[in-house]
A and B are shown apart, each in its own frame.
Chain A
Amino acid sequence: GAVVSQHPSWVICKSGTSVKIECRSLDFQATTMFWYRQFPKQSLMLMATSNEGSKATYEQGVEKDKFLINHASLTLSTLTVTSAHPEDSSFYICSALLAGTYNEQFFGPGTRLTVL
Chain B
Amino acid sequence: QQQVKQSPQSLIVQKGGISIINCAYENTAFDYFPWYQQFPGKGPALLIAIRPDVSEKKEGRFTISFNKSAKQFSLHIMDSQPGDSATYFCAASRGRGSTLGRLYFGRGTQLTVWP
Contact = CB atoms under 8 A, between A and B. Distances in A.
B17 interface: no
Given A32-B101, A43-B106, A107 B49 contact: no
Nearest to B45: A107
B76 interface: no
Contacts of A35: none
Given A43-B89, A103-B95, A105-B34, A110 B100 contact: no
A41 B102 CA distance: 22
Contacts of B107: 42-43
B42 A103 contact: no
Contacts of B100: 32, 97, 103
Interface in B60-108: 89, 93, 95, 100-103, 105-108
Interface string A97-108: 101001111111
A73 to B, nearest CB: 18
Interface residues of A, number: 26
A81 to B, nearest CB: 18
A8 interface: no
Given A43-B106, A43-B107, A103-B32, A109 B49 contact: no
A46 interface: yes
B41 interface: yes
Interface in A13-50: 32, 34, 41-44, 46, 49
Given A95-B103, A103-B93, A107-B44, 17 more contacts: A4-B43, A34-B101, A34-B102, A43-B108, A44-B44, A44-B105, A49-B102, A93-B43, A102-B49, A103-B32, A103-B101, A105-B34, A105-B93, A106-B46, A107-B45, A108-B43, A109-B42
Interface of B: 32, 34, 36, 41-46, 49, 51, 89, 93, 95, 100-103, 105-108, 110
